[in-house]
Each structure stands twice: as C-alpha cells, then as structure tokens.
Amino acid sequence: MPLPQKSPQYSCDQCLPAHSVTQGLEDADDSKALEETCLSSHPLIPGTSKEAPGVGIPSNPENPQSFCSSSIAIATTSTSELNEGSDSQEEEDSTSGAGPDAKNVPVDALDKMVALLVDFMLFKYLKKELMTKADMKIVIKGYEEHFAEVFLKASERMEIVFGLDVKEVDPINHCYAFFIKLGLTYDGVLHGKEGIPKTGVLILILGVIFMKGNSASEKEVWEVLKLTGIYPGRKHSLFGDPRKLITQDFVKGKYLEYRQVANSDPAQFEFLWGSRAHAETTKMKVLEFLAKVHGTDPSSFPSQYEEALEEEEERTRARMS
C-alpha cells in the first residue's frame, strides 16, 4: 500500500509582507546581507564541463546510460565557476555602462544570479520556511527585470540536482514552498542536523535502474554518477561519502536493493528498486522526469514506456479490486 506523501510543514501564515521579511537588510547592502546569511560555503554540485563529458549527448533510446547522465550533467556547473566568470564580465560591464537590459546582460552574470538563488532556495528549504517573490528579488538585486528567467532556471536546477519542486502556494502574497518530487518522502536530511537534500541522486539512480532493465550493475551506476562529479571513495562536498549514501543509506531506507549478482566470481553487485521506491513512486513518473529533463517525450523510449504503462494499468486494477 503506498505510503502517504509527506507535505512540508508550511503555512500560508508564514507569508509575511515583504517588508517584515527584509527589514534590516535594506539598511545595508541587500544582496550582500542575504548572501552572507543564506549561502552555503559549498558550491552546488562540483563538476565542470571537463568532469561531465556527458553534456550534450543526444537522446538515444538504445543507450539509456547516456540518456540519464547527459541531462543531469548539464546542471552540475559549480557556483564558484559561475562566480569567477561573472565577476570578470561584471567588471567589464561596469566600465561600459551596460544596464540590466536583456541584450546587454552577459549570460555568466545571469548564471551567477541563478546560483545565488539556488543557494537561497536551499537555505529556505532546510529551514522549512516559505519564500516570497520579494525575497528572491533581493537576492538577485540589480537583475530584477530578469526575475522570471532566473527563477525558472533556479527551479529547474532544484528539480534536477536536488529532486525538489518549487511551487507557488499563495498567489496573493506570492509565496513559494518546496515539495519532494515523484511522490517520494525521502530527502536524506537527518532531522535536527545540517545537510543537503539527496533526492536528486536517488532519482538519478532509480532512473538508471529502470532504463537498464530494472537492474543495474554497480559499475553502471558509478559510471553515471561520475559524470555528475560523484566518485566512489571520494568524499563529496555536499553528499558526503557517496558509497555509504547509495549502498547503505538508500538501502536502509528501502529505496534501493543492493545485492550480489548470482554466480559472480569475483563477486559483483547490482542495484534494484527497493520496496519503498515501488510504494511511493512509479516507473512512469521516473520516465516522465528523465524525459522532461532531456527535452523529449516518454514515448521516445518505446520499451520503457510500454513497461511503465503496463505498471500503471496493474496499479489501477489493484485499486479497483
């Protein structure tokens, strides 16, 4: 029986007028104050184009590994890299008198605003607080005219990298909340402790398993994770010990099954969906997510799409009976 979806402990009462949220920041440099208060000391997922050769790989139904990895790698540019590029460009713009007009704003500068907004969103998520449009505009001060574009890209990064949806829950006060994707109830953040949501990593692995025929060798999983800057035996600045995360934490949470391949000598291991993954999400949801990230349609992958449809029909029959 599917487990109930946990909703964030948010209330629209938390949607305070913008001046009550930002009071005190306006007496100083607004964006700097928010940056110092809200930004983590770590980059978003470490990984540059050199570490992510999967970027730009075309969709290929016959190569599900590249399908999964290429899309995720697109969102793994580090904040520090964005900052370095935008700082030099901003200095050039300041001397040329370029304003915030879309034609004059360098891509790197907007990317930096995206990185800042993502860090702010993570801060609000971990505090279990709503965020307002007014708050976000302070974070990207100087680029308010481009709020829609920056917000869209930041929301996409939250979705792809961290497995979180950003949704408006109060249209009047423009308040936004965060929801774990695909019906999952796990974010990997221990109660009362600091951490970063790890649902994005889990969704990626679930996707690899499904695209590889419902079981993926440990080697295949690591090959995909490496394209996002996550390596076995190397501590990750956000996710800690990745081997422990996927072979112990995800397994203990019953989202993954980790077992030895039958008759393998030397011993080899593989991953399958765990019972909790089957209970909380579906193959169709995972396929739709992967297809959306890659800019294609689930039906572009006929065998997986047919299998996902069959599962949906089975769940429908089970509910009716």
pLDDT, tens digit, 9 for 90 and up, residues 32-55 = 433 343 333 333 333 333 333 332
Q: What is the pTM of this model?
A: 0.72
The whole-number pLDDT of residue 10 equals: 52
The whole-number pLDDT of residue 196 equals: 87
CA distances from 10 to 32, 116, 209 (A): 27, 23, 33
**Which of 99-103, 159-163, 243-247, 303-307 is predicted with the least confidence, judged by mean pLDDT?**
99-103
The whole-number pLDDT of residue 213 equals: 95
Q: What is the mean pLDDT of the chain?
A: 76
Structure tokens at 172: 């009047």
pLDDT at 91 exceeding the cut of 60: no
Contact (Cβ atoms closer than 8 angstroms) between residue 285 and residue 183: yes
How do beta strands 175-180 and 131-132 pair?
A: antiparallel
Name the band, by pLDDT with cuts 50, 70 and 90, for residue 109: confident
Report phi then psi at 15, rounded to 5.
Answer: -80, 80
> Long-range contact list for 315-321, CB < 8 A, 24+ apart?
315/282
Strands (E), 181-285: 216-217, 256-260, 269-273
Longest dimension (CA), the chain: 71
Contact (Cβ atoms closer than 8 angstroms) between residue 213 and residue 307: no
**CA end-to-end distance (rounded Å), the chain:** 13
Q: What is the mean pLDDT of residues 63-83?
A: 43
In this structure, the number of other CB atoms found within 10 A of the CB of residue 4 comes to 9
pLDDT at 134 exceeding the cut of 90: yes
Structure tokens at 112: 């930096």
The whole-number pLDDT of residue 112 equals: 92
**The dihedral sign for the CA sequence 308, 291, 250, 243:** positive
The whole-number pLDDT of residue 102 equals: 52
The whole-number pLDDT of residue 191 equals: 59
Pick the residue with more confidence: 192 or 215? 215
Q: What is the mean pLDDT of residues 182-187?
A: 93
Contact (Cβ atoms closer than 8 angstroms) between residue 210 and residue 304: yes
Q: Which residue has the tokens 């949607």?
A: 15
Q: Please, what are the domains in the chain?
A: 107-180 (1.10.10.1200), 198-320 (1.10.10.1210)
**Which of 56-65, 153-162, 268-277 is predicted with the least confidence, judged by mean pLDDT?**
56-65
**Which of 102-106, 167-171, 179-183, 240-244 is predicted with the least confidence, judged by mean pLDDT?**
102-106
Per this entry, what is the length of the chain? 321
Q: What is the mean pLDDT of residues 111-138?
A: 94
- Helix axis angle, 147-162 to 64-74, nearest 10°: 140
- Report which of 276, 209, 285, 222 is spatially closest to residue 249, judged by C-alpha positions: 276
Number of H helices, E strands in the chain: 14, 6
pLDDT at 260 exceeding the cut of 80: yes
What is the rounded CA–CA span in Å between residue 301 and residue 287? 9
**Which of 55-64, 106-115, 303-312 is predicted with the least confidence, judged by mean pLDDT?**
55-64
The whole-number pLDDT of residue 106 equals: 77
What is the rounded CA–CA span in Å between residue 215 and residue 217? 7
Strand partners of residue 180:
164
- Report which of 51, 67, 56 is spatially closest to residue 220, judged by C-alpha positions: 67
Contact (Cβ atoms closer than 8 angstroms) between residue 122 and residue 40: yes
Q: What is the mean pLDDT of residues 139-150?
A: 93
Strand partners of residue 271:
216, 258
